[in-house]
Structure 1
Amino acid sequence: MASRTRRHKAPQGARDGSRRRVPMRLLLPCLVLVALMAMLMLRGYVHSEILADHRIRPEAATDKVPEKILDGGPVIDTRGGRTESLRIPDHRLVLTFDDGPDPQWTPKVLDVLKEHHAHAVFFVTGTMASRYPALVRRMVDEGHEIGLHTFNHPDLSYQSKKRIDWELSTNQLALTGAAGIRTSLFRPPYSSFADAMDNKSWPVTRYIGSRGYITVVNNTDSEDWKKPGVAEIIRRATPHHGKGAIVLMHDSGGDRHQTVQALDTFLPTLQKQGYTFGNLTEALDAPSAHTEVTGASLWTGRAWILLVSASDAVTGVLVVLLAVVGTLVIGRFVLMLVLSAAHARRVRGRGFRWGPAVTGPVSVLVPAYNEAKCIENTVRSLTASEHPVEVIVIDDGSSDGTARIVEAMGLPGVRVIRQLNAGKPAALNRGLANARYDIVVMMDGDTVFEPATVRELVQPFGDPRVGAVAGNAKVGNRDSMIGAWQHIEYVMGFNLDRRMYDMLRCMPTIPGAVGAFRRTALERVGGMSEDTLAEDTDITMALHRDGWRVVYAENARAWTEAPESVQQLWSQRYRWSYGTMQAIWKHRRAVLEKGPSGRFGRVGLPLVSLFMVVAPLLAPLIDVFLLYGVVFGRTEQTIVAWLGVLALQFVCAAYAFRLDRERMTHLISLPLQQILYRQLMYVVLLQSWITALTGGRLRWQKLRRTGAVEAPGGPVPRQRTRTSSSDRRPVG
């Protein structure tokens, strides 16, 4: 999994400007995201009836409805221009069930029908048939008839012909996928007796007939949906004087235990009275309403059912992952708040000392590659240090005169070491070999220190157990939106984390912008490694495994220039994420180590994996389900839940800002950071996962700098033009 930080020759397409293919590591995350969103949209579409129109039209005039329809039976046939009305013969009952299938009540209804050797007609909706295809297949296998009840259960008198066709065809698609059949039976939602047909519903009935369907209403309503009691359901469902009837019942839409109990009494009672319970076509001695589907139409239906099932499965997994990430996020927030408060009380307590004051000089290593825009500010900030330092600038093959700028400054105590471009770890090891002192401070070439930074950074070395110290990296260019978002991230996500990890004694990373090391500790673990792109995380984990303590110095502030464009931010975080994964993988055996040196493996490595890799990867599920809930669910409750999470994040952020003595004004952009910035970080992390899993190699990328960052109260930086595109080369 490790990858060397070497420069690679740019591909021909990049040099000559020709068209390049989208890298798989970019294409695959996009395809994964599109697929997941499609699954969620399909699930919401089928489950939440997002396109449903639940308006119910009031009664209208009936003067345009033929008398023989109003006075006729419950079966209306307008196919081929006919206007016929059919009645059910005496002593024949056709039980009909609307709105199913339901996973709880439909099987119980089917069990009762099977026990009493009765058949029925189930008018299914497309949404329910798509979700529970096995129940539809069972209905057909046990000899029952199926009818359409539209896909989304709208009042069709409000709908256009195009929408009616869509309701019918999609309902048939679900039926075909579930049972391999089509049906010619149809029942309009919100329908009643034939004499309730009016001037609004009659044109719909005629149009339905022109599409090849027989409209089935009812003439005996059990009103079981009112739950009036078992006896009352039976009374209302029983026809008078041996008349035939179509009985309306429901197997979905709520609690149907009264319907099931009523059936168990109703069926044997009326069978003893000479009634038969058959399908509609059996009662009318007509051909079956079912037609077997074959060929492409059958496979299209099956594909629909497969996609709906897949969307349910994917959503179920995402819900579990959402619960996991919710637990991780809340757990992390609680840990950060509790442990960071404890850390602040400890290090700010009266009389707290790490040990004897560290006053001896230290070596400061500044690896630099094409840092002409920043290097002067960096070096001058070091020479203004309140602590004695020697400054070693390691020029890693710069082509912009970085080394000449430092040499021209002619400052005492500042040395320049030149080398061919070999990478940042090699530059740091070169500097370490030339350092004079036992304590070594490392920083980036685009960072500036406050006068007290070095002094504050090295005081923890008064404790001989301390092998490294992490400083407090601050975003200097925070005036832009992207800069403000990174400022929030640095204060809340990094420094609050470091306080927590310090208390747990498993600090995962010494930031490259501001960190200090005991030289003997570095030498014991072999110095800076080129095995990963996150050499700072790699060396920190190595020190833990060697038994050293790694701590956080909150007052050792360094001001760094954060990326100012989405592209630069993407490049930086992609490298960080991928390098962190490499470091975790490299030190995975730490979980098996015992003794004090194994604490990081037992505590730190699992926490780093959960909080820095797994949780950030899953965190956008909160926003995904926010969108899902707003579109398909209970909008108000969803928004309230999301605002609750945002409020928790705001509390943590405000507390972190208070600990760092930062102004709260930048937290105004926190909601946008959570909505936009986090999604970018998610895609970057997903891309890093794919690169790691596919064995891809990632190069260093040089970020464009302006040299405009300075420490508060520091020297005014010289105004320079922006780095040209030719300077955007690897740091290492």
Structure 2
Amino acid sequence: MDIHGISFLLYNTFLIPVTFFSFVYYIVALRSILSKEENEDFDGGGIDWPQVTIQIPTFNEPVAIRCAKSCLNFDYPKEKFDIIIGDDSTDERVSKAIDDFAKRNRGKVTVTRRGHNRGFKAGNLNHMLKFSRGEIIVIFDSDFIAPRNFLKRIVKPFVKDKKVGCVQAEWDFLNENTNYISKLSSTLLMFYYSLIVPINKRLGVPFLFGSGEAVRKDLILELGGWQEGSLTEDTEFSLRIFKEGYKIVYLNDVKVKGEVPYTLKGLMSQQRRWAYGNTRAFLEHSRDILLGRLSLLQKMMVAYTTSIGYLSNFFLLLFLITGIVYFFSQPSAPIDIGRFISKTSEIFLMTSGFLLGGVVALSKKNKSEILFSSLVSVLTVGFLVSFSVSVGFFKAIFGKKMVWSAINKQGNFDFIPQKSDGGYK
């Protein structure tokens, strides 16, 4: 069998799982179109607000100062919250800028340091916990900012329901319009927030995102802290929450803004790390999750969100590659235009669930204006991103090691010129 025949065989083989995932996204997109997001009622009157500690872990990221400034403006009782910047920086300029800021806000902002970066972000969070006075811990990645009423909104579910262990706000973006890469980065996240998260929320298994989240301090201690060395400590902790039967509340109408990767290297690194970390977390807890207290639908969505869903990238990538090889390796012959159009239309309908999902996601978030640029990015650098995701997934499956790779933030340049990448995100 020549290369044309082999590519034809593989193309049709990969068409099967691609069609399956496309059908899944057709269903998910249709559900999103027909459903309405439910917002949480908010009335902050007459509440005895609990003590809160805001943790901002950072690694060579002066943009953490911007995050802390945003937190200082919260309309929460001033005596009821404090801010800790966990500075793992190796750049003395960054540490000095953070120290100067803390001195100007003495009594509200403190700085903790470990002198190393072991355990990555999770290790930093565990270290800050030793100095945290609040009964509720709120965590921000350094590039995030939040609206003035954020703290009251995210704390109220804890006051209303003692069974609530964690609360997660929705993410929005500060730099989505920087370039084609940032538009693709934000589109991928909006796809997740618009199509997958609402289902997880409805089923009672929404995940933490790692920023814009709040957790009861007692619960963190009860479950043994954050898993140091995990590349996605938020997902790993969420799985432990599900196993133990605690409740995570997702607030889709409370939004925090952060940066998305704006370079191809940054986007590939982020997506590879997420695929690896999420898959490793699921594999570690898979027995307890699949045999535990969750319902069948909950188990299916947890597995899909943390691992199985990444296979769609792998199969779609192979489907496109083998399709291209098949098309260009066919013997020279007159093209039957009618048959070509008919077959292409058939394949398009079978596989365009991914495209429909993206269109619906952007429409739901009122971001339709970036559809064209996102589509261009998907059809070009999207191949490399899918490859990176697949590498992360299969490294996790086969137990290969992966270290935390830093992603630079545009906001860092507002404080100190950056010579190298830094950051936890």
TM-score range for the pair, normalised by the shorter chain length: 0.7 to 0.9
Aligned equivalent of 1:614: 311
Q: Deviation at 1:431?
A: 1.5
Q: Deviation at 1:407?
A: 2.8
Q: Aligned to 1:375, which of 57, 60, 64?
A: 64
Structure 2 unaligned residues grouped into runs of 5+: 331-335
Which has the higher relative contact order, 1 or 2, with Cα contacts under 8 A spaced 6 or more apart?
2
**Is contact 2:56–2:64 with CA below 8 Å preserved after alignment?**
no
**Is contact 1:443–1:512 with CA below 8 Å preserved after alignment?**
yes
Aligned equivalent of 1:71: none
Distance 2:409 2:176 in 1: 14
Q: What residue identity is the alignment partner of 2:233? A: E
Distance 1:385 1:416 in 2: 19
**Is contact 2:75–2:152 with CA below 8 Å preserved after alignment?**
yes
- The answer to whether structure 1 residue 680 and structure 2 residue 384 are counterparts is yes
**Is contact 2:266–2:407 with CA below 8 Å preserved after alignment?**
yes
Distance 2:142 2:319 in 1: 38
- Give the SS at the match of 2:379: helix
Aligned equivalent of 1:291: none
Q: Deviation at 1:720?
A: 4.2
**Is contact 1:533–1:579 with CA below 8 Å preserved after alignment?**
yes
Aligned equivalent of 2:402: 698
Q: Aligned to 1:430, which of 127, 141, 148?
A: 127
Q: Deviation at 1:652?
A: 4.1
- The answer to whether structure 1 residue 453 and structure 2 residue 147 are counterparts is no
Alignment of 1:278-427 (within 5 A): 308=6, 311=7, 313-338=9-34, 341-342=35-36, 344=37, 346-347=38-39, 359-372=49-62, 374-388=63-77, 389-409=81-101, 410-411=104-105, 412-421=107-116, 422=118, 423-427=120-124
- Give the SS at the match of 2:410: coil
Q: Deviation at 1:586?
A: 0.7
How far does the alpha carbon of each residue in 1:261-303 deviate from its partner, in whole angstroms, 9 at most, with x for none? xxxxxxxxxxxxxxxxxxxxxxxxxxxxxxxxxxxxxxxxxxx
Q: Aligned to 2:161, which of 445, 458, 463?
A: 463
Aligned equivalent of 2:244: 546
Aligned equivalent of 1:499: 198
- The answer to whether structure 1 residue 583 and structure 2 residue 272 are counterparts is no
Q: Deviation at 1:381?
A: 0.7
Q: Deviation at 1:483?
A: 0.8
Q: What residue identity is the alignment partner of 2:24? A: L
- The answer to whether structure 1 residue 637 and structure 2 residue 329 are counterparts is no
Distance 1:601 1:475 in 2: 29
Q: Aligned to 1:536, which of 231, 234, 240?
A: 234
Once the two structures are overlaid, the 10-residue window that deviates more, 688-697 or 391-400, is: 688-697
Distance 2:235 2:356 in 1: 28
Q: What residue identity is the alignment partner of 1:570? A: M
Distance 2:283 2:274 in 1: 14
- Give the SS at the match of 2:130: helix
**Is contact 2:4–2:326 with CA below 8 Å preserved after alignment?**
no
Aligned equivalent of 1:444: 141
**Is contact 1:394–1:428 with CA below 8 Å preserved after alignment?**
yes
Identity of aligned residues (%): 18
Distance 2:277 2:136 in 1: 26
**Is contact 1:591–1:601 with CA below 8 Å preserved after alignment?**
no
- The answer to whether structure 1 residue 482 and structure 2 residue 181 are counterparts is yes
Q: Deviation at 1:589?
A: 1.1
Q: Deviation at 1:537?
A: 0.7
Q: Deviation at 1:701?
A: 1.7
Cα pair distance change 1:491/1:601, threshold 3 Å: closer
Cα pair distance change 1:437/1:488, threshold 3 Å: same
**Is contact 1:471–1:558 with CA below 8 Å preserved after alignment?**
yes
**Is contact 1:363–1:439 with CA below 8 Å preserved after alignment?**
yes
**Is contact 1:392–1:414 with CA below 8 Å preserved after alignment?**
yes
Q: Deviation at 1:386?
A: 2.1
How far does the alpha carbon of each residue in 1:529-581 deviate from its partner, in whole angstroms, 9 at most, with x for none? 02521111101111111111222112332222222211122122111111111
**Is contact 1:545–1:598 with CA below 8 Å preserved after alignment?**
no
Distance 1:354 1:605 in 2: 33
Q: Deviation at 1:464?
A: 2.1
- Give the SS at the match of 2:414: coil
Distance 1:494 1:322 in 2: 22
Higher share of residues assigned helix: 2
**Is contact 1:328–1:615 with CA below 8 Å preserved after alignment?**
no
Once the two structures are overlaid, the 10-residue window that deviates more, 620-629 or 327-336, is: 620-629
Q: Deviation at 1:494?
A: 3.2
Larger Rg: 1
Distance 1:706 1:500 in 2: 32
Distance 1:496 1:322 in 2: 18
* RMSD (Å) for aligned C-alpha atoms: 3.3
**TM score, norm. by length of structure 2:** 0.84
The total of aligned residue pairs comes to 407
- Give the SS at the match of 1:448: coil
- Give the SS at the match of 1:392: strand
How far does the alpha carbon of each residue in 1:454-511 deviate from its partner, in whole angstroms, 9 at most, with x for none? 232223222222211222122211121111111222222235422221111122x311
How far does the alpha carbon of each residue in 1:218-251 deviate from its partner, in whole angstroms, 9 at most, with x for none? xxxxxxxxxxxxxxxxxxxxxxxxxxxxxxxxxx
